[in-house]
Amino acid sequence: MKVLCNGEAQEIASGTRVADYIRQLGLDIYSVVVECDGRILTREEYGSHELQDGSVLELIRFVGGG
Amino acid sequence: MLTIAGRKFRSRLFGGTGKFSSPEVMKEALAASGCEMVTVALRRIDLNNPADDIMSVLDRDRYLFLPNTSGARDADEAIRLARLARASGGGEWLKLEVTPDPRTLLPDPIETLKATELLVKEGFKVLPYMNADPILALRLQDAGAVAVMPLGSPIGTNQGVLTRFQIEIIIAQAQVPVIVDAGLGAPSHVAEAMEMGADAVLVNTAIAVAGDPVRMARAFAMAVEAGRIAYEAGLGAVSKDAAPSSPEDGLGFLR
């Protein structure tokens, strides 16, 4: 199935949970904040929230800034 | 000692984390600056380079992160960024920035006030970046801002304190700490702001883009301390007419 992540179409296996997807990208779940279909997920939800076909994801993190 | 929203700060210099040439230089420069609070921004992860996490070099026990809402053009965008910052583990501290015009990066006062009112209700400790407008400073304070951050000059311009007259009024009136932010390009600029009685200053660009950011951070730290000590010691009055420093009496032998 397809999701739109950070503006890019991504092919992922059905049943993928947010925590799985973050790990597949090689990211630390504690450094990532996730907005899924317009809703900010709590970190506790990452392990249970299953991505759906057509889900729109934003993966955000802190970067340098003033 | 400076206290903001109940938290004490030994250093009156706040640092930024943007524009450094490398995470290592940033880490060393921030250590040299002695700052305890640093601004950070929120951006999308680059999926083609997801490992590029420069903030991981900073010790979160040593630095309080002050997430900013840079990039927001109106209150709604700023509020969305604020909530993301909190969900990222940024805590409740927030540097609220609403800058609709990319050429000047001047803050929108109406959207900033609107966002401050809402975010304070949501429990954020809001430090709004604002134009140096004394009336707006009072309005933001009344809305619950824990400090105000008037600009010295536009972001990244290194022009120094161009808003001196207004900042003097803000400092005289404000009940919350006044942190002069933006445009402070040299240690002399921060010394000026601190001599005027600013509670703190925030510096990013001038340190990050210096030939030697670590030494420049040290120079800024010294200037902040010098300016603060001078303010506390009490500066002499400014006058148009000269006043001799040496005695006027006892010159009878000359003429």
Q: Which of B37, B116, B113, B119 is nearest to B86 (CA)?
A: B119
Residues of chain A found within 8 Å of residue B68, distances taken between Cβ atoms: 65-66
Count of structural domains, chain B: 1
Domains in chain A (CATH in brackets) are: 2-60 (3.10.20.30)
Any idea what the CATH number is for the domain that residue B79 is in? 3.20.20.70
Residues of chain B found within 8 Å of residue A62, distances taken between Cβ atoms: 40-42, 55, 65, 67, 88, 90
Per-residue pLDDT at A47:
92
Per-residue pLDDT at A31:
87
Chain A residue whose CA is closest to B204: A66
Per-residue pLDDT at B180:
98
What domain range includes position B73? Answer: 2-254
Per-residue pLDDT at A41:
94
Given a cut of 70, the residues of chain B with pLDDT beneath it are: 51-52
Does residue B150 come out as left (phi exceeding 0), alpha (psi in the -120 to 50 range) or beta?
Answer: beta
Chain B closest-CA separation from residue A13 CA (Å): 17
How would you classify the pairing of strands A33-36 and A56-64?
Answer: antiparallel
Q: Annotated catalytic sites of B, by residue?
A: 95
What is the per-residue pLDDT across B108-133, written as a single tens digit (0 to 9) for each? 999 999 999 999 999 999 999 999 99
Per-residue pLDDT at B52:
67
Per-residue pLDDT at B49:
79
Q: Does A10 touch chain B (CB under 8 A)?
A: yes
